Amino acid sequence: MAALGWLTPRKRSATARSVLAGEAAAEAGLRSTQESHAASEAEAAAKADEVPDFPVFGDNRAAAFFDLDNTVMQGAAIFHLGRGLYKRKFFQRRELARFAWQQAWFRLAGVEDPEHMQDARDSALSIVKGHRVSELMSIGEEVYDEYMADRIWPGTRALAQAHLDAGQQVWLVTAAPVETATIIARRLGLTGALGTVAESIDGVYTGKLVGEPLHGPAKAEAVRALAATEGFDLDRCAAYSDSHNDIPMLSLVGHPYAINPDTKLRKHARRLDWRLRDYRTGRKAAKVGIPAAAGVGALAGGTAAAVALHRRRR
């Protein structure tokens, strides 16, 4: 049995150094365990916060809707179109001064006064009255190359391309004339465009609108009408805009984005935890354009825009 004595624990008192070593080992072990648990919890939290892949590849019941002015393109499409029309002598210098003043007023005031917007709308319609739709389409192609192509925001363009690459439809939704918006959408490889519909008879503009300009609530109605026709699930769709006037459209979809947002939209987006992207650099980009006021016929204008584009696609 003596040979097995080495198996029997030795009875010896602990020295101060061994006590210190034991306490240190216990403390280190606990600390290591706590750090390991903390790291695991942090990793789990990070995974929980990860944004799932979006847009979802192959989800053809989802679509993306992009505002145009200052969201996809710097400035306002109708202003660039006006420059092109003046260059081609569609109107005189006096009318150009009035047109330019309307732009400057909006940039300085930043307020969409209904009376002022009515004046701006009437001015724009008077310019094209009596001209053929085909003529404006042809000029629009030239104006895009002259004034618009270099003003497309690369960041927003990449967002649109991501939706296209995922197999989803991408639509411009703008108060700009539907003809101009359609040209821009085609040049960017997008699905199509919803825009303000100017009345024409036998291919000639009458100087009147169908409904109202596609602005504010009318945009939301256009998106709603298109979604119903195309079978989109709006909760799976995305919308992008720079303006608080487009909150109705942004609120309609499950994935709203504030792009280069104005002050009111930025505050609203932060309050609702919407995603924000700002592609402007240096001094805040000035707002340029004629934002048409939404009036009593907003619903009619929005629905007419969606129906007109759907018919054109067929």
By annotation, the residues acting in catalysis are: 67, 69
Contacts of 209 (CB under 8 A, 6+ apart): 121, 125, 196, 197, 198, 199, 301
The whole-angstrom separation of Cα 148 and Cα 142 is: 10
Q: Which of 222, 130, 124 is nearest to 180 (CA)?
A: 124
Q: CA 259, CA 162: separation in Å to the nearest integer?
A: 16
Residue written as token pair 């053809």: 60
CA distances in angstroms from 191 to 106, 122, 139, 223, 310, listed in the order given: 31, 30, 21, 14, 11
